[in-house]
Amino acid sequence: MITNRALEVLEFQPIRLALAERSSTNMGRELALALHPTSDAYQIRTMIEQLEDALIGSSLHLGGITDVRGVLNKLVQGQLVGASELLEVAYTLDAAMTLRRSIAQHSLGPLLHVAEKIGQHTILTRSILEKLNRDGSVRDDASPKLRQLRRRLEPLRSQIRDSLTRIMERSAEYLQDKLITIRRDRYVIPVRSSFENQVPGIVVDSSSSQQTVFIEPASVVPLNNELARTVIEEEQEVARILLELTRMVADEPGLWESLRAVAELDLIAAKAALCKDWDLTRPDSSPEGEFELIDVRHPLIDNCIPNSYRLDKGRRLLLITGPNMGGKTVTLKSLGLAVAMHQSGLFVKAYSAKLPIVEEILCDIGDGQNLLESLSTFAAHLKNLSVILERAGAGSLVLIDELGSGTDPSEGAALSQAMIEQLLTQGARGIITSHLTPLKIFASERQDVVNASMSFDVENLRPTYKLSIGAPGRSYALAIARRLGFPNSVVTRGETILGPEGLQVEKLLEALETERKNLETDAAAARKAASHAEQQEKEWRTKLEQLEQQKNQFLLEAQAKADAIYRDAMEQVRQLKAKTRDDLTERPKVMQELRELRAAAQAERPQISAVQREPEALKPGANVEVPSYGTNGKILELRGDDVLVQMGLLKVTLKRRDVRLKQQNGIKAPIGGVYISPSSFTKELNLRGAHVEEAIEEVRNFITEAQALREGQIRILHGKGEGILRRVVRDYLRTDKRISSYADANPNEGGHGVTVANIRV
């Protein structure tokens, strides 16, 4: 289990307080302050999913909900409650049911299991709200009897006031004031004490000065009596109604369960608010026991420097060395808090995190000396370390700060190394910080211990708080002393006392640190070069696309020129046909020449792909290529300059220029609106993509040539499409006397997309 002592050392209490501040009810605040990590994997996953649901799906608003447990406890003890307390219960239950309906409408699923614990208290809330006013008074229509009693009260009061007014007019000289007042719940008039006997009636009260007596005139006594009886009956009816509502609340099932569910939702809402305020990230679970934290920060430190590290089965302990105040303890606590927050159903302060579920967090952080118990710093550390050795295992997270401190460095290093070896034997994972040089050497010789250090800026004498993995750190004591202007002779003497071995180790660490910085510089330069290369690649791709567009534009212009030449040639052909119309003997020869001329002209025309004519060919149902996504799709809808494209399960709106019409196999691109067959002209004319007028002209010329060459049968390829071109071609064939019959091609030869015509020879 994760002990309260460990949470106290890790400073988990401020996180509880932050949650309590964001809670809307006392019930939620109590849960926040009692929040404790768990090692139940199912419970942790459930809490994390509920928190994500609150952030993405449901928006938890707990307005109108108050802590009514005190009212319910009164009812349990058999005490009566007032109308205002009943109203508080009704408002709370009504708001809770509204919250449940909101979650049912917007939740992604996980919060539904909590919201369903809120009962349906509609009858109870309706009964209370229908019988009580917002000010806590009982409504006139709460019961028929109360309505009748209150209808009698006002006329009685008016009758009494009228009677007293008439009496005061007759006895004005005896009155202290012309004022009707109420004393002892009776309507009375103020009379001067000296004229008490002049006004017949009952003395109900007197003033403190004894100058005035308050007399209830005899004629008003019956009316006051009737009013008193009616008021008593009203009070009894009000008490009965309140008692009835109180019993309804006491007998209502599921009230406590509803309040517990509201408290739980309040805590989840507080967690969601904390995640937004602190920019927390959902951690991924790690069943393999791997810790991987990228840019993790201490959540309670503003502008904390992020660090990244990883622990797994092969690298189970991270040994961090470096100068004091360099951030070693913050790194320890950041990991401990990340684990505690995750196992409390919270997100963590990191760019990304992969965390296993630990059964126990074992900490030795801070100075544990206790003068009352005669414990020195070293003794306190030993006591904690003894407990850690006793409890550590594969399910434990060990966090030890300044291992080996507080005693002789040599003995401390030896004892610390032995302890680390034992922790590794027991399968523990965690982070250990130290200044001891032998531990740095020990870590460099082990595969399961990773050396790390906190960087320090010697020039400016300040820590960088940046964790460097793979190399031990220096303490910088001599370097800092020299930098601060410590006497050179003293520093030199310190180096001598340190000895050649110690000085060699320091120089080795300095060299390693310099090498690491050089590598980091080289890596940064490499990343910069890679980024520059990537940017250049993007620029070249852009230029290539521009050149491709220019090429297509040139081809389109060339095609337009070729179309003009082609039309001129066709006009010349028509003129030749007209000249030879009367000379039947020359017709076969001329037609053969025309056929060869036409084929040669078609062969020399520039061929462009259907992609380049796509702006005219784009239509719903067309298959297109989407280069920016690297995939194909189908056009669903045209929206001006935009197209809606279906790419697998995804629908995306793109610009027309960002899609390319996918060319069908075996079909050449359109030329001047007419598709040309891949082979030379024989018996088939390809009209797909041609305009109506151009298609009719082509069919007319094609039939003329075929008849001149004594071809008995021809094929006209017009495609299926919307059937417009097919209908136009057939309308023409029906009127051309040279055609004896026509029909669709066989299904395996084109079907409705091809018309086969028989020519009279």
Same domain, 156 and 294: no
In a domain, 613, yes or no: no
Q: Between helices 221-251 and 144-170, what is the axis angle to 10°?
A: 150
Let me know whether 267 and 306 are in one domain. Answer: no
Please answer whether residues 671 and 664 qualify as being in contact, where contact means their C-beta atoms are separated by less than 8 angstroms.
Answer: no
Average pLDDT over residues 645-668: 70
CA–CA separation, 404 and 408 (whole Å): 8
CA distances from 86 to 89, 94, 142, 596 (A): 5, 12, 14, 104
Q: What is the pLDDT of residues 81-134, one digit of tens each?
A: 889 999 999 999 999 999 999 999 888 889 999 999 999 999 999 999 999 999
CA distances from 659 to 355, 544, 545, 672, 689 (A): 44, 17, 13, 22, 19
Structure confidence at residue 136 (pLDDT): 87
Contacts of 359 (CB under 8 A, 6+ apart): 1, 39, 393, 395, 396
Amino acid found at 161:
R
Q: What is the CATH number of the domain that holds 182?
A: 1.10.1420
When divided into structural domains, the chain yields a total of 4
Structural contact between residues 401 and 329, judged by C-beta atoms closer than 8 angstroms: yes
pLDDT digits (tens, 9 = 90+) for 194-216: 888 888 888 888 888 888 888 88
Nearest to 359 by CA among 428, 450, 284: 428
Helix, strand or coil, per DSSP, at residue 307:
strand
Residues 268 and 402 in one domain: no
Total-model pTM? 0.62
Question: Is the predicted pLDDT of residue 615 greater than 60, yes or no?
Answer: no
The lowest-confidence range among 568-577, 620-629, 752-761 is 568-577
b/e map 165-181, b = 16+ CB within 10 Å: eebbeebeebbbeeebe
Q: What kind and span of H or E run contains 657?
A: none
Q: What residue numbers bound the domain in which 100 lies?
A: 9-121+252-278
Q: What are the pLDDT digits (tens) for 422-475? A: 999 999 999 999 888 888 888 888 889 998 888 777 667 677 888 888 777 666
Distance between CA 170 and CA 151 in Å, rounded? 30
How far is 463 from 325, CA to CA, in rounded Å?
7
Encoding tokens for residue 396? 């434990």
Mark 303-339 as b/e (b = at least 16 C-beta within 10 Å): ebbbbebebbeebbbbbbbbbeebbbbbbbbbbbbbb
Query: In which residue are the tokens 């990883």 written?
Result: 310
Helix H or strand E segment including 405: none
**At residue 467, what are phi and psi to the nearest 5 degrees?**
-85, 130
What does pLDDT average to over the chain? 82
CA distance 602 to 598: 6
CA nearest neighbour of 441 among 387, 512, 498: 512
- Is residue 613's pLDDT more than 50? no
Q: Indicate if 304 and 221 belong to the same structural domain.
A: no
- DSSP code at position 348: B
Higher pLDDT, 609 or 418: 418
Both 348 and 261 in a single domain? no
342 or 519, which is more confident: 342
Residues 299 and 425 in one domain: yes
723-744: pLDDT as tens digits: 788 888 888 888 888 898 988 8
Residues 358 and 447 in one domain: yes
Mean pLDDT within 537-559: 80
- Cα(673)–Cα(29) distance, rounded to whole angstroms? 76
% of the chain surpassing 70 pLDDT = 82
Mean pLDDT of 496-510: 54
Angle between helices 587-604 and 692-708 (to 10 degrees): 140
Q: Is residue 198 part of a domain?
A: yes
Structure tokens at 184: 């002892």
In a domain, 377, yes or no: yes
The first and second tokens of residue 388, run together, are 């850690």
Two structure tokens written together for 709: 């060459």
Residue 319 belongs to some domain of the structure: yes
153 and 50 in a common domain? no
Domain boundary among 278, 296, 319: 278
Instruction: Specify which of 1-10, 349-358, 573-582 reaches the highest per-range mean pLDDT.
Output: 349-358
Determine which of 220-224, 268-272, 396-400 has the lowest per-residue pLDDT on average. Answer: 220-224
Under the phi-then-psi rule, with left for phi > 0, alpha for psi from -120 to 50, and beta for the rest, what region is 578?
alpha
Do 259 and 323 lie in one domain? The reply is no
Q: Is 400 domain-assigned?
A: yes
Question: How high is the pLDDT of residue 372?
Answer: 39
The answer on 364 and 215 residing in a single domain is no
- Per-residue pLDDT, 658: 79
196 and 335 in a common domain: no
